Structure 1
Amino acid sequence: MLGLIISLIIVGLIAGALARLLVPGRQDLSIPATILLGIIGSFVGGFLGYLVFGKDGDDGFFQPSGIIGSVIGAVIVLLIWTRVRSRQ
């Protein structure tokens, strides 16, 4: 259980940092917010992978994905976050 939490944090940090590098503009996110961005992006990437490829149905509808899916999901979440934040 502890290994799962640590790996989730590490993958979240990597995916969130890569997403912040790929999305142009300035994002005012702290390190914990970047980790949370990557973790949420991982689940979004797993959800999209399930919808597109239809695999891993036994694991449930929401599932953690690989690092590439995590980065893609984190980019999507970050783009949505910047659009919502710019309207406020």
Structure 2
Amino acid sequence: MGWLWAIIVGLVLGVLARAILPGRQNIPVWLTMVFGIIGSLIGNAVARALGIGETSGIDWGRHLLQIAGAVLIVALGTPLWAQIRGRRHTA
């Protein structure tokens, strides 16, 4: 069940990250989900390092860090995806 939640959260965070970033991110849905999962893992690691990984109630700080991680990964990953995809078409 943990993997199912990771996929759902990854998709939601990836879509939120794409909505936050200006312009159009020309990446497929599966890559949006992967970027969201990676961003979530980065956000969780930063939250744990800051000591806010587990709190009572809603973990707003952790959730904000997860979204920030997803935005970062989508922002960095989209141009890489375009570059890789462009190389495939010219080869």
Q: Flag whether TM exceeds 0.5 (same fold).
A: yes
Aligned residue pairs: how many?
A: 78
Could you say if the C-alpha distance between residues 24 and 41 of structure 1 is closer, same or farther in structure 2, counting changes exceeding 3 Å? same
Could you say if the C-alpha distance between residues 17 and 40 of structure 1 is closer, same or farther in structure 2, counting changes exceeding 3 Å? same
Q: Which amino acid aligns with 1:68?
A: L
TM-score normalized by structure 2?
0.68
Q: Which amino acid aligns with 1:32?
A: W
Structure 1 unaligned spans of 5+: 57-65
Q: Percent identity?
A: 31
Partners of 1:37 and 1:78 within 8 A in 2:
yes
Whole-angstrom distance in 1 between the partners of 2:68 and 2:4: 21
Moved more, 19-28 or 78-87: 78-87
Structure 2 unaligned spans of 5+: 55-61, 85-91
Whole-angstrom distance in 2 between the partners of 1:85 and 1:32: 12
Equivalent residue, structure 1, for 2:15: 17
Q: CA deviation at 1:51?
A: 2.5
Partners of 2:43 and 2:63 within 8 A in 1:
no
What RMSD, in angstroms, separates the aligned Cα atoms of the two structures? 2.6
Match for 2:45 among 12, 27, 47?
47
Greater Rg over alpha carbons, structure: 2
Equivalent residue, structure 2, for 1:34: 32
